[in-house]
Amino acid sequence: MTKERIDQESKYCAANYAPIPVVLERGEGVWLWDVEGRRYLDMMSAYSAVSLGHGHPRILAALTDQAKKLALTSRAFHTDQLGPFLEDLCRLTGFPKALPMNTGAEAVETAIKAARKWGMQVKGITDGNQRIITCEGNFHGRTTTVISFSSEAQYKEGFGPLSPGFDSIPYCDTTALEAAITPDTVAFLVEPVQGEAGIVVPPKGFLREAARICREGNVLLVADEVQTGFGRTGKMFACEHEGVKPDVMILGKALGGGVFPVSGIVATEEVMGVFRPGDHGSTFGGNPLGAAVGRAAIATLVEENLAERAAEMGEVLLQELRKIESPIVEEVRGLGLLCGIELKRSAGRARPYVERLFRSGILSKETHEQVIRFAPPLTIEKKDLLDACRIVKEVLENRED
């Protein structure tokens, strides 16, 4: 069955992914089962989208109950779910306004549009001259605008012409940030922790200093919390580790409870005030089904204290992984339940070790060729986490040549 399904997918799907050779059929909590009945511990949680675990009863109830009543109307009409969802989201984040979308990349595009229009209407920049500062190693999605400021050559190759208006600086370099700001700069778009770059955690004080520079330069601080938000790093939002409140926050993944794409931005009144009917929209954005799921996800995160659990379990994960005595390990780094093991160049790529982990019952993912990424559901129990760390230790300390 495994080979049949993989061959079928390969025949009919464009080869835009290189999945681990497992065909998953069912999930419950932190566990996944393949079509052959084998069980795996999910140490990826769909890049944080399944932070609440697979099939959380509260999320499934919200999904099925709302689906039976009303799933989609478009924003041409009001629904009884959108207002309560947006109020819950704004109360949780501390922002006065939200704009709902579906995927993380859509939310990033929304933030870019908001920043550019704010630059024209509020800052007085001539339309077309607005510039946004981004960081090397960033990952904000794969739309044509977003790949235009990626530092990964493959993400851009063959997809030109690329979108102008972006200036790149090294991640965590506040001196470069200050130097890059011009009268036409509207925003600094940054991940509080870089995920796709290999779980790069900035030094303490970086985000706080970046916020000061942006404030003094009349530049919006736009934090991409799509992966790091909703408890992943041990705080509800990663910016909270520095006591920083950005002007715009980009949200997604875990907001959909692991069952539905829900995303959006939250921002100040001044930023959100630039929008008028017709400026931006989405047929599915803010749909009643997504809104109901989003409300349930927020309530679950808060009531189950999952940010606090991520902080506690994240300490366990990092401590255990740092005990690994292997000549191929360069560094273990992370924040909360977002962790990466960087391998030395001499070890070769991380993919073979990810496949060995898969064969040992652990599902993970390589990133940036040399890093094994771990981001289990925030609901994971300590026993399961310790078992996972034991298996990782065995795989990395017993190299197969």
Residue type, 350: A
φ, ψ for residue 306 (rounded to 5)?
A: -75, -25
Q: How far from 144 is each of 23, 81, 112, 134, 148, CA to CA, in Å?
A: 30, 32, 13, 15, 6
What confidence score (pLDDT) does residue 400 get? 63
CA angle centred on 194, ends 344 and 16, rounded to 5°: 80
390 and 361 Cβ atoms separated by less than 8 Å = no
> Within 10 A of 152 (CB to CB), how many other CB atoms are there?
15
252 and 226 Cβ atoms separated by less than 8 Å = yes
For 161, the token pair is 């012409």
Task: Measure the CA–CA gap between 34 and 38, rounded to whole angstroms.
Answer: 5
198 and 368 Cβ atoms separated by less than 8 Å = yes
Task: Measure the CA–CA gap between 78 and 54, rounded to whole angstroms.
Answer: 31
Pick the catalytic residue from 34, 42, 88, 224.
Answer: 224
> Within 10 A of 289 (CB to CB), how many other CB atoms are there?
21
Task: Measure the CA–CA gap between 36 and 69, rounded to whole angstroms.
Answer: 36
Nearest to 191 by CA among 96, 253, 119, 108: 108
DSSP string, 260-312: S--EEEEE-HHHHTT--TTSS--SSTT-HHHHHHHHHHHHHHHHTTHHHHHHH
Pick the catalytic residue from 117, 235, 253, 365.
Answer: 253
The CATH superfamily label for domain 2-55+305-397 reads Aspartate Aminotransferase, domain 1 (3.90.1150.10)
Q: How far is CA 18 from the centre of its chain?
A: 20
Q: Is 323 a catalytic residue?
A: no
Q: Is 235 a catalytic residue?
A: no
What confidence score (pLDDT) does residue 291 get? 98
Burial 349-364, CB ≥16 within 10 A → b, else e: ebeebbbbbbeeebbb
Nearest to 30 by CA among 57, 53, 55, 59: 53
321 and 332 Cβ atoms separated by less than 8 Å = yes
What confidence score (pLDDT) does residue 345 get? 94
What confidence score (pLDDT) does residue 390 get? 98
DSSP string, 167-208: EEE-TT-HHHHHHH--TTEEEEEE-SSBSTTT-BPPPTTHHH
Q: Residue ranges of the domains in the chain?
A: 2-55+305-397, 57-303
Pick the catalytic residue from 139, 149, 237, 284.
Answer: 139
> Within 10 A of 238 (CB to CB), how many other CB atoms are there?
27
Please give the chain's pLDDT, 401 residues, in tens.
999 999 999 999 999 999 999 999 999 999 999 999 999 999 999 999 999 999 999 999 999 999 999 999 999 999 999 999 999 999 999 999 999 999 999 999 999 999 999 999 999 999 999 999 999 999 999 999 999 999 999 999 999 999 999 999 999 999 999 999 999 999 999 999 999 999 999 999 999 999 999 999 999 999 999 999 999 999 999 999 999 999 999 999 999 999 999 999 999 999 999 999 999 999 999 999 999 999 999 999 999 999 999 999 999 999 999 999 999 999 999 999 999 999 999 999 999 999 999 999 999 999 989 999 999 999 999 999 999 999 999 999 986 65
Task: Measure the CA–CA gap between 136 and 130, rounded to whole angstroms.
Answer: 20
CATH 3.40.50.2300 fits 57-303, yes or no: no
Cross-strand pairs, 71: none
DSSP string, 305-368: THHHHHHHHHHHHHHHHTT---TTEEEEEEETTEEEEEEPGGG--SHHHHHHHHHTTEE-EEET
44 and 375 Cβ atoms separated by less than 8 Å = yes
Q: Is 253 a catalytic residue?
A: yes
